[in-house]
Amino acid sequence: MRQIWLVNPTKKTKWNLSPDDTTGSVGILYKPKGMGYQSNLTTKQINFYYFLSEITSENTNIYGTLIFTDDDALKRFKKFVGDFSTTLELHYSPDGSVVADDIYTPSWFKEVIITSFDVSEKNANGVYEIPIKFQTLSDVWKRYSVIRSTEIKLESSGQNSYPYFFKYNYGGGSKIAVDINNNSHEVGCVVSIKNISSDILVSPKWIVQYSDGSTEQMAKFLVYLDKGQEIKIDSNDLSQSATFISSTGAEIDINQQQEPSWDYINYIRLKNGKNRVIFLLNSNTVESKDISVSISYTEQTEIAY
């Protein structure tokens, strides 16, 4: 059975809108509408052929009826939302493969604000039937995804293949690479590189190659990373930033230390399809060892399956 639940990200609390056990004091979302996707196309005709000239996706709102089995459920829901202008996450698992209590499997969600909550009297069955409208803040469903290597030992003789990360021959040397299969839209990502070894890591560089044949993107930051120091490069649309994190946790903006050449976009994006990210990590003298790398991104798709 499909699963829907709300998350209040500020309070870190959840409200299950499709509980398995409906006998107690619960609130259930009945007949939700607007879980799909809509877009507007402008086409251009040449002879008998149509060419796509403009595509605009439409922000579809989600409607439904909330059923509260008793007054207590309604009171608890009010407490859960708190300020009704709070942005909530509406999580949705159409096939029920992810449930609200699962904290390990990422699920699809949209950011929403409740813009209509029409409280009325109890009906003949003694329950509240409240039409509700969620104004969506995104046209697409999102899902968090993190790929992390805890420690990369480039020259260790034993096991070299950590989950996802592998050795890749690039430019005549053995580099660390990761393949990310992005089944969603082109998205930004957060790349973190932490130096664990005592060799200083000099100006880390990474390249992303795309399977769709489009031009590769490159990033480079002119920084020196001592042991325990980290850089975090965020290329998401609204939160783009470049941060240096010292071993004590102090954060410094290093935007101005990005490679100035326009051959380097510096904030790489993950496109639809296979993305191969290759890391070129060197100390002053030798290729670096013991580096921790992670890439996290949010999948974005029209239909939450």
Partner 1 sequence: MQFRVYSRKNLGYVDSGFVSDNNVSIDDDYLIDNNSTISFSKDTTATIGDFIVLIKDKGAFEKGVIVSVDNAEHKILFKKFIEAFNNNIINPYVNSFSDDITSLRTNSLSALVAKLITQGFVNNQDTEMNLPIGGFNIYEQESTSALYSYSDNSINVKEVLLDYFNKNNLVVDFNISFRPVLDSTRRQIISASKLMVEIYIPASTTKIFIKDNILSGTIVYSDSTIPDATTCVVIDDTTKEILKTYYLKSDNTVTDDPSDEDRILPSKATIVSYTSDSVSDTSGSTVSDEEAIQTLAEENLLGQLNNTLVQYQIPNNTKAINLSNLKLGDKVEFITSLGSIYTIYTGRKISGNNDYITLMFGKARKNYTDKIQLALRKIYKKIGGK
Binding residues for partner 1 (CB under 8 A): 44, 46-47, 49, 51-56, 188, 214-218, 222-224, 235, 237-238, 240, 252, 255-267
Nearer to partner 1, 93 or 258 (CB): 258
Nearer to partner 1, 50 or 305 (CB): 50
CB of 206 to partner 1, least distance (A): 13
**Non-local CB neighbours of 179 within 8 Å, separated by 6+ positions:** 164, 166, 274, 275, 276
CB of 224 to partner 1, least distance (A): 5
CB of 94 to partner 1, least distance (A): 29
CB of 197 to partner 1, least distance (A): 18
Nearer to partner 1, 119 or 252 (CB): 252
Nearer to partner 1, 21 or 212 (CB): 212
Nearer to partner 1, 118 or 226 (CB): 226
CB of 51 to partner 1, least distance (A): 6
Structure tokens at 293: 């790398």
CB of 26 to partner 1, least distance (A): 40
Nearer to partner 1, 50 or 84 (CB): 50
